[in-house]
Structure 1
Amino acid sequence: MILALVALFVGLRLYSVLGERTGHEQTFVKASEPDAPLERRMPEEAAGAGSAFDDAGNNYLPLAGPGVRALLAADPGFDVARFLEGAEQAYRMILEAFWKGDLEAVKPFVDGNVYDAFAGAVEAREAQGLSLDNRLINIDQSLIAAANLDKTIAEVTVRFEADIAAITRNEAGDVVAGSMSDAVQTRDRWTFRRDIASSDPNWILVETDEEE
């Protein structure tokens, strides 16, 4: 089923290939230059880390509130606004890297088993002579949909609403699916994990899913 989706719509939904949870702790790699393509500044680096927020600010869904508050209590350096800013950067950059088939760029950002599934989907796409010409037009909204703290392991799920224009081309460059003039609204949930007892402030993508 996954390979069939890859053949037709592989560029539209990253959740089709990044669906596994694992326990491997890799980290996002922070870029040293401000214009680096995969920059990932985390909450601990922000001025005013640990700042407060409320439901009215649309930073999290009500059901996520207890988990977010537990995370803030355990890790006062956690800053929701900066976390969501970084999550949006990761969402954009990982999608674009996947569409290009740039696996080395994606590897530091995802769990090992997730990466293997990701690589398999890219290989299947290339074996069929397909390439993607996709654009992330806009991220309309990002907010925390769920948060959980199990001892020192934090997991935060972010719900993204975005507009994506997707085109799949064959080896001749002809369009076989999609349209650049008709962006599709997507709703995805990405889950990030971090050991808050670690001195490393970075998070890793461990799961993606589509919201119906």
Structure 2
Amino acid sequence: MNYSFEYIDIILLAMIAGFIFLRLRGILGKKTGFEGKMPTQFEKEFKKTEVSPKQINDNFDEETQREFLKGARIAYETIITDFSDSDNKLIASKPLLSKKIHDQFQEALLDRRNKGHFAEITFIGIKSAAIKTHKKIEESLEVTVDFVSEIITCIKDKDKKIISGNGEKIKTVYDTWVFSKNIKSSNPNWLLIDTIT
């Protein structure tokens, strides 16, 4: 049986939904802590791509890797900037997270809210993204990606006093994220299943 999936289409839909939601909130005058840059001209940058399990496991060639990394970059920026929302809710990134990661992030957001803290994150950009490993484990495909990004980040209290980080200094961040796709699942998403910082 030939399995295929369209991870870029799903990520694009999540990004477009998030963008529309944020635009509506901006029009209604509700302030959020989102300070990242939403990607533009999706149609020009990303195209529909079908990648079979065989391509991941046996023939993950340069073109396939480039297409995967395009989606992974979008997912990375979406998740990082979504985590800075002052509402302490994961909105745009929820479809991109496994239950385990979503619960971990939600717990961190709840802890932040209970302390009266909020994060401000300005996403400068991704300096590099490279596939570290790719493998098939039972019915799942897993791809590990090393990211190097530049971010301005700080945590503020309810009085907007900085308690950690620096609101003016660009910080280089090194992350290793693992994305997974169940080839037998009807869900076509690639999901973030682990993070190593």
TM-score by length of 1: 0.65
Aligned with residue 57 of structure 2, among 56, 71, 74: 71
Unaligned ranges ≥5, structure 1: 1-26, 51-67
- Pairwise CA distance, 1:81: 0.7
Q: Which has the higher contact order (CA 8 A, sep 6+)?
A: 1
User: Corresponding residue for 1:153?
Assistant: 140
Paired residues for 1:1-212 under 5 Å: 29-32=10-13, 35-37=16-18, 45-46=48-49, 71-73=57-59, 79-100=64-85, 101-198=88-185, 200-210=187-197
Counterpart amino acid of residue 45 in structure 1: K
Percent identical among aligned pairs is 24
The separation in 2 between residues aligned to 1:32 and 1:115, in whole angstroms, is 19
Using structure 2 for the length normalisation, give the TM-score: 0.69
Distance 1:31 1:156 in 2: 19
How far apart, in 2, do the equivalents of 1:79 and 1:201 lie? 17
Q: Evaluate the alpha carbon distance shift between residue 32 and residue 209 of structure 1 in structure 2; reply closer, same or farther with a 3 A threshold.
A: closer
Shift of 1:195: 2.3
Task: Describe the SS at the equivalent of 1:103.
Answer: coil
Compute the displacement of 1:201 (Å): 3.9
Q: Deviation per CA, 1:25-80, whole angstroms, max 9, x where unpaired?
A: xx994455985437999x9823xx66xxxxxxxxxxxxxxxxx976244x89x821
Change (3 A) 1:33 1:135: closer
Q: Secondary structure, in 3 states, of the residue corresponding to 1:135?
A: strand
> Residue 154 of structure 2 contacts residue 166 of structure 2 at CA under 8 Å; is this kept in 1?
yes
> What is the count of residue pairs matched by the alignment?
162
- Asked if the contact 2:17/2:92 (under 8 Å) is kept, the reply is no
Provide the rounded CA distance (Å) in 1 between the counterparts of 2:110 and 2:147: 27
SS of the counterpart of 2:83?
helix
Shift of 1:151: 3.8
Q: Note the aligned Cα RMSD (angstroms).
A: 3.2
Which 4+ runs in 1 deviate beyond 6 A?
38-41
Q: Distance in 1 between matches of 2:158 and 2:129?
A: 36
CA contact (8 A) 1:155 1:191 kept: yes
Q: How big is each residue's C-alpha offset from its partner over 1:125-147, in whole Å with a ceiling of 9 and x where there is no partner?
A: 01111011111111000010111
